[in-house]
Amino acid sequence: MPRIGMEPLRRKALVDATLRAIGQHGSLDVTMSDIAREAGVSPALAHHYFGSKQQLLVATIRSLLTRLRADTVTAMEHLDTPRERLSAIIRVSFQADQFAPETVAAWLAFYVEAQRSEEVRRLLVIYSRRLRSNLLHSLERLCPPDDAARIAEGVAAMIDGLYIRQSLRSAPIGSTASIALTEDYLDLQLRPFLPAKLS
């Protein structure tokens, strides 16, 4: 008989193993057996909990998004200024666990899968809209709406672009450098508006 309380632990182990397996392969070309082996459970148990590889992939993306959202909320707690909140969003986007090579490879694989899977595409659209909304919320307190929308798109594009460059591994830049580049871009874009706001 299964031990009570083991299901959540095994589900999490399978989700974590999926992330590692995809990251190691650099694509979604992994089997349930590969994932189960990585998690230290039987393929039958993996199928029991998730039904199919597709359902496990979706659960893995949801887990990434849930963690990213929770980390963003925590990072922005007790921050008073919109500029501080923008920096918190950028820091969370490039924090060590999200910007680890395996996780970056998994994100890229999920974007490829979104071209075929409507459910995966929908989840990644949710991520994109949430990032834009978080950026806009602070930017609209610093500059006019049209400029806020333009800058939000630019920051989001920089974040996505730096993930793509990291995934290529030919010229990876670390988390600290990625944060600095994005902050430099944001400072440059906000420079015309900050004096008026601070006066």
Q: What is the pLDDT of residues 109-133, one digit of tens each?
A: 888 889 999 999 999 999 999 999 9
Q: How many Cβ atoms are within 10 Å of 191's Cβ, its own excluded? A: 9
Query: Where residue 1 falls among pLDDT bands split at 50, 70, 90?
Result: very low
Query: Where residue 195 falls among pLDDT bands split at 50, 70, 90?
Result: low
Alpha helices in the chain (DSSP H): 6-25, 32-39, 43-50, 53-76, 82-93, 101-113, 118-139, 145-168, 175-190, 194-198
Q: What is the pLDDT of residue 198?
A: 44
CB contact at 8 A, 92 and 82: no
Compute the mean pLDDT over every residue in the chain, rounded to the nearest whole number: 89
Residue 52 belongs to a domain:
no
Residue 164 belongs to a domain:
yes
Residue 176 belongs to a domain:
yes
Q: What is the pLDDT of residues 16-47, one digit of tens each?
A: 999 999 888 878 889 999 999 999 999 999 99
- Residue 63 and residue 12: Cα distance in Å, rounded? 9
Q: What is the pLDDT of residues 85-111, one digit of tens each?
A: 999 999 999 998 888 888 888 888 888
In this structure, which amino acid lies at residue 92? V
Residue 19 belongs to a domain:
no
> What CATH number did the domain enclosing 147 receive?
1.10.357.10
Structural domain range at position 90: 61-198
Residue 13 belongs to a domain:
no
Q: What is the number of structural domains in the chain?
A: 1
Residue 119 belongs to a domain:
yes
Residue 38 belongs to a domain:
no
Q: Which residue did the predictor score with more confidence, 174 or 198? A: 174
78: pLDDT strictly greater than 80: yes
Residue 134 belongs to a domain:
yes
Percentage of residues in the chain having pLDDT higher than 70: 93
Q: What is the pLDDT of residue 173?
A: 82
Q: What is the pLDDT of residue 27?
A: 80
Q: What is the pLDDT of residue 171?
A: 60
Q: What is the pLDDT of residues 150-181, one digit of tens each?
A: 999 999 999 999 988 887 766 668 899 999 99
pTM for the model stands at: 0.86
